Structure 1
């Protein structure tokens, strides 16, 4: 005869096995939905200045601020198992002393955002007005296609670029890249597709043209710009 504890353990083990199998089946359904993301990113304005990039910086160093435009369509990444998508834009560049400039060993994030699915809007830390708009846009739809579309024009970066050496002026072979990370309700995290796999396609575009960071902005140039902006304001 089995004891009560042994029977409870058997029931619990059977229950967790069933849950695991169901979870695996749910996660595998992601492979049935095609993924065809696309993105175009363009550099609009670049500035390199010397100062403290963050309030907690202990010393002055060169840092770059890159404005960009982004047109992306990640709507195909949403299905019934998608919880949210994390999208970010990074700047990459090779080591100045490296002989092979095609290998980009440095990378820094300049902008990011989170796109939630209609079923996880309650996780968004937004105001009541924006929440009403999200709920209205999702009414009667399992997935709102507009959720995955991003249109940015002359976007200001969230984060400045710094380098371990503290020098960035006149840096060559810099690129902007678009990345994404999909968080499902059940299953594993998937990142930017590097290799085509069945219905999952590599992101179309997603890389800017190679550009060069400008020379360090001098104090006189900053003063002239301030004068111009004050004249325009008046």
Structure 2
């Protein structure tokens, strides 16, 4: 005869086995859900300044500030198993004289699903609007529609050498990471993977960073010609 403890252990073991198998099936559903993210990004204003880019910086150095516009459709990333989507924009440029590539994040954002809105680190007014937009719905794909115009970067770009002015062949790229309720996190890919399509677009044309902006420089006024 099994005592009460043995029976509880057997029930718990059976429960965890069933829960694990069920979780695998739930995670597998994502693999058969089509993903087709797309977007267009372009820089709208760039400048390079010399100073202390962070409050903890010990010395002055050159840092770049890049504003950008983004029109992206990430709605296909939101399914019933999506907890939240992490979106970020990077600036990439080659290191002169080497095969290395510099990469720095300039902006990021977390887009939650209705069931994970409580995880959003926003104010009460924004939270109220967020909950009202998702009232009665478990999926809100339109949250994946991004339209940013002349967006200010969250982070400045620096370089270990302290110099970044006149950097050439700079590109902006859009990336994402999907965190599901059950299963493994997934990231954007450069090629198609089953039902998941690679990010269509999401890369800007190449551009160069300007020279260091000095305090004596004044913006040039445009003259209308008739």
- Structure-2-length-normalised TM-score: 0.92
Which consecutive unaligned segments of at least 5 residues does structure 2 have?
222-226
C-alpha separation in 1, matches of 2:49 and 2:119: 38
Aligned residue number for residue 180 of structure 2: 184
C-alpha separation in 1, matches of 2:11 and 2:135: 40
Aligned residue number for residue 111 of structure 1: 107
C-alpha separation in 2, matches of 1:35 and 1:179: 14
For the aligned residue pairs, the C-alpha RMSD in angstroms reads: 1.8
Aligned residue number for residue 45 of structure 2: 45
Aligned residue number for residue 16 of structure 1: 16
Residues 1:96 and 2:117 are matched in the alignment: no
Aligned residue number for residue 158 of structure 1: 154
The aligned runs of 1:1-234 (5 Å cut-off) are 1-98=1-98, 105-221=101-217, 224-225=218-219
Q: Are the aligned partners of 2:113 and 2:138 in contact in 1 as well (CA < 8 Å)?
A: no
CA deviations on 1:214-234 (whole Å, 9 max, x unpaired) are 11112311xx35xx9xxxxxx
C-alpha separation in 2, matches of 1:2 and 1:129: 57
Q: How far apart are 1:45 and its partner, in Å?
A: 0.7
- Structure-1-length-normalised TM-score: 0.89
C-alpha separation in 2, matches of 1:23 and 1:87: 26
Aligned residue number for residue 224 of structure 2: none
Q: How far apart are 1:117 and its partner, in Å?
A: 0.7
Q: Are the aligned partners of 2:36 and 2:199 in contact in 1 as well (CA < 8 Å)?
A: yes
Q: Are the aligned partners of 2:92 and 2:172 in contact in 1 as well (CA < 8 Å)?
A: yes
